[in-house]
Amino acid sequence: MTQASHDWWRNAVIYQVYIRSFADGTGDGEGDIAGLRNRLPYLHDLGVDALWINPWYPSPLNDGGYDVADFRDIDPRFGDLSQAKALLDEAHGLGLRILLDIVPNHSSWDHEWFKQALAAEPGSPERARYIFRDGRGPNGDEPPNNWRSVFGGSAWERITEPDGSPGQWYFHIFDVSQPDFDWSNPEVRAEFLDILRFWFDLGVDGFRIDVAHGMVKDMTKPDIPYDESGLLDRPKIADHPFFDRDGVHEIYRGWRELADSYDPPRLYVAEAWVEPPERLARYVRDDELHSAFNFDYLKAAWSASDLRRSIDESVTVLASVGAPATWVLENHDVERVVTRYGREVTAAGEGSSRIADGPVDERLGRHRARAAGLLMLALPGGAYIYQGQELGLPEVLDLPEDALQDPVWERSGRTRRGRDGCRVPLPWTIDGPSYGFGSDGSWLPQPDGWGALSVEAAEADPGSMLHLYRTALRMRRDIPAAEPVDWIQVDNPDVLAFRRGTGFVCVVNLGAQPVALPDHRQVLLLSGELTEDGMLPTDTTAWLAT
């Protein structure tokens, strides 16, 4: 392997496979490895470099598989280890690398260690792998403190001791079925290094690290003065007791040593919802993780000033530690971009935007999503595409209440519907059972007419989002990867225009009026049509050769 091929991730496009909803090869209504293997040629043709597969480990699926019962196996619903090996071989044969999702902050309550902890005594080594504490109040009836789960409700759950008496409490940042590990325990640290080794030895190319800013806690901290912060948003307090604590970096230095001991070296991507970008940069210092999702960019408004701010900040701050920027618009935790940008009203000329409360304009959202996709793929560094983003799938906002699976729904007292709307199984065909997903039914209902957004429909339409992504991904290989964003001065605050090297220009018009294109030799790619007189209309991106 050459140095260059070791650095493949620096400008890679990584496609996120939410395996339960990608393709169902066994006909049981849930996606699986068999379905993914069938569709590898599709992903290869799309032109991505690697796949990140959401958790496929044995799990009661209380939190979509982020509640892991055994970190060294695969849930029978998704397949088995021999199929995983076959998948790795086939993907590698097509030049696609595979990242898995490691969930080190917590396990499922079905994990053997947690069962042992419940059966053991307070103070035992079995309990010491998790975070058990006595309750407050005379009989220990009150939780140890007021800390809340990000899914809603208390972050503490009381157990019944083996002798039947009301017992200790255990800590869970997420669902009650996801007890947090105690990372101050060397046994936990050793166990995870061993789990990483297990998958690296099987041939896995790297890991996306779930809640990479969790793990290390200071359980001695006092109650938190809460405001009404949202899902996965950390309360804005300094020195947070369970997020982004400095001690987590030492863990990653050890993980990096392990990844570097492999040939080729393995890769880590952090899911870390931290602010400001300087804090994120700490995760990707050169002896820690390789890259991190750029959630600041994901949250940016569809406005020239906000996007430019986010791009500049991300590039500058990450460059200070030698890490490439990454760009992401969607994942399995956030509203689909077609819907998000279809809600957002940009006050043109003011460079500001606000979120509309009114109905979603999907046509507008899709138009902007096309422009946003081309902008993202023109930027230097790595990019992520969430399955279905390339089809322009919207958020499914009207899933019936009895179909909702996200624990957020119940834990929020049915006030937040949660994240199921971006996890609806993919439509592969225009008609047929489950629109080609693979069986008569699917674990989340697909809306009527879902087939109009299918891969089959998109293939047949030269103007589809799928063709746009495919072409962009092909052309992106010709943009000189090392060339930074070089802004072109335009005297219109609603237009973003930048050069990469001498030959490539990207222009995005986020304003209300059409604008003239800068000097160019050739229009390479457009997210929408030019006006009759060759101007770039509202919410449109152009790639130009100069």
Quote the least distance from Cβ 153 to ligand GLC, whole Å. Answer: 15
Instruction: Between 59 and 145, name the residue whose CB sits nearer to ligand GLC.
Output: 59
Q: How many CB atoms lie within 10 A of CB 253?
A: 12
Single out the catalytic residue among 49, 175, 271, 362: 271
Compose the 90-119 pattern: x for residues touching ligand GLC by CB under 6 A, - for all others: -------------x----------------
Quote the least distance from Cβ 253 to ligand GLC, whole Å. Answer: 22
**Is-contact 520 546, C-beta < 8 A?**
yes
Instruction: Between 332 and 470, name the residue whose CB sits nearer to ligand GLC.
Output: 332
Residue 330 designated active-site: no
**Is-contact 181 189, C-beta < 8 A?**
no
Site for ligand GLC (CB under 6 A): which residue of 9, 66, 302, 504?
A: 66
Amino acid present at 268: Y
Instruction: Between 25 and 421, name the residue whose CB sits nearer to ligand GLC.
Output: 421
Decide if residue 232 touches ligand GLC (CB under 6 A).
Answer: yes
Instruction: Between 174 and 386, name the residue whose CB sits nearer to ligand GLC.
Output: 174
Quote the least distance from Cβ 3 to ligand GLC, whole Å. Answer: 32
Name the CA radius of gyration of the chain, rounded.
24
Instruction: Between 18 and 498, name the residue whose CB sits nearer to ligand GLC.
Output: 18
DSSP string, 123-182: TSTTGGGB-EEPPBSTTS-B-SS--B-TTSSBSEEEEE-TTSSEEEEEE-SS-TT-PBB-
DSSP string, 417-479: --SGGG-PPPP-SSSSGGGGTSSS--SSPPPTTGGGGSHHHHHH-TTSHHHHHHHHHHHHTTS
Decide if residue 211 touches ligand GLC (CB under 6 A).
Answer: yes
**Is-contact 76 59, C-beta < 8 A?**
no
Quote the least distance from Cβ 174 to ligand GLC, whole Å. Answer: 4
Decide if residue 295 touches ligand GLC (CB under 6 A).
Answer: no
Quote the least distance from Cβ 9 to ligand GLC, whole Å. Answer: 20
Instruction: Between 103 and 378, name the residue whose CB sits nearer to ligand GLC.
Output: 103
Alpha-helical (H) ranges within 330-379 are 337-343, 362-378
Instruction: Between 98 and 374, name the residue whose CB sits nearer to ligand GLC.
Output: 98
Decide if residue 174 touches ligand GLC (CB under 6 A).
Answer: yes
Quote the least distance from Cβ 151 to ligand GLC, whole Å. Answer: 8
Q: How many whole angstroms separate alpha carbon 224 and alpha carbon 8?
A: 42
Residues 28-57 that bind ligand GLC (CB under 6 A): none
Instruction: Between 212 and 457, name the residue whose CB sits nearer to ligand GLC.
Output: 212
Residues 250-279 that bind ligand GLC (CB under 6 A): 271
Residue 210 designated active-site: yes
Single out the catalytic residue among 24, 49, 205, 210: 210
Decide if residue 180 touches ligand GLC (CB under 6 A).
Answer: no
Compose the 438-477 pattern: x for residues touching ligand GLC by CB under 6 A, - for all others: ----------------------------------------
| Closest-CA residue to 209 (of 103, 329, 341) | 103
Please report which helix (H) or strand (E) contains residue 522, including its range.
Answer: strand 522-526
Quote the least distance from Cβ 57 to ligand GLC, whole Å. Answer: 12
Whether a cis peptide bond, with omega within 30° of 0, leads into 144 is no
Quote the least distance from Cβ 326 to ligand GLC, whole Å. Answer: 15
- The end-to-end CA distance of the chain, in Å, is 35
Site for ligand GLC (CB under 6 A): which residue of 32, 210, 288, 420?
A: 210
Q: Summarize the chain as % helix, strand, coil (round to 5).
A: 30, 15, 50
Dihedral (Cα; 133, 138, 142, 144), 10-degree rounding: -30
List the structure tokens of 417.
């519907």
Amino acid present at 40: L
Decide if residue 200 touches ligand GLC (CB under 6 A).
Answer: no
Decide if residue 231 touches ligand GLC (CB under 6 A).
Answer: no
Please report which helix (H) or strand (E) contains residue 316, including its range.
Answer: helix 304-319
Q: Coil, helix or strand for 120?
A: coil
Alpha-helical (H) ranges within 162-270 are 186-202, 248-260
Quote the least distance from Cβ 437 to ligand GLC, whole Å. Answer: 21
Instruction: Between 255 and 293, name the residue whose CB sits nearer to ligand GLC.
Output: 293
Site for ligand GLC (CB under 6 A): which residue of 157, 333, 420, 539?
A: 333
Instruction: Between 78 and 504, name the residue whose CB sits nearer to ligand GLC.
Output: 78
The residue number whose beta carbon is nearest to ligand GLC equals 66
Q: How many whole angstroms separate alpha carbon 527 and alpha carbon 542?
A: 7
Quote the least distance from Cβ 150 to ligand GLC, whole Å. Answer: 8
Number of residues that bind ligand GLC (CB under 6 A): 10
Q: Who contacts 354 (Cβ-Cβ below 8 Å, separation ≥6)?
A: 344, 345, 347
Between strands 267-270 and 504-509, the pairing is: unpaired
Q: How many whole angstroms separate alpha carbon 295 and alpha carbon 273?
A: 7
Residues lying near ligand GLC in the complex (CB under 6 A)? 63, 66, 103, 174, 210-211, 232, 271, 332-333
Q: Give the active site residues.
A: 210, 271
